[in-house]
């Protein structure tokens, strides 16, 4: 058996385990959704589970755990997009409230 064949046979088992964990996290989100808790508590719990779920999906299904350069690219690109979105919030307030000096 060559190394490529060994990698493929081991990779499917690891991917299947990660997939089962992601399904379990989705079930946890389903349970959280039907709990009788306040909206802020539900948001906090759902966000925590979603971050873990997204992290697992990114690391294993996009193979970020294997490729260090791609991992840095995704991290830097995500931060840049979030900063760009933050820059645009001030304009969205202007559009909803109108220009203050127009009166």
pTM here is 0.60
Question: pLDDT per residue over 2-22, tens digit each?
Answer: 555 555 556 688 878 888 998
**Angstrom distance (rounded) from CA 14 to CA 42:** 31
Give the residue-averaged pLDDT of 36-65. 88
The Cα 63–Cα 23 span in angstroms is 19
So where are the chain's domains? Answer: 1-66, 68-103
CA distance linking residue 72 with residue 8, whole number of Å = 25
Q: Which two tokens stand for residue 44?
A: 């906090």
């Amino acid at each position: 058996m060559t190394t490529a064949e060994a990698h493929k046979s081991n990779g499917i088992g690891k991917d299947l385990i990660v997939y089962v964990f992601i399904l379990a996290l989705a079930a946890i989100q389903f349970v959280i959704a039907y709990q009788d808790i306040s909206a802020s508590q539900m948001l906090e719990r759902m966000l925590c589970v979603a971050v873990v779920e997204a992290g697992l999906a990114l690391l294993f299904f996009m193979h970020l755990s294997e490729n260090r350069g791609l991992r840095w690219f995704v991290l830097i690109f995500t931060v840049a997009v979030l900063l760009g979105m933050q820059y645009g919030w001030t304009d969205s307030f202007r559009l909803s409230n109108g220009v203050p000096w127009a009166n």
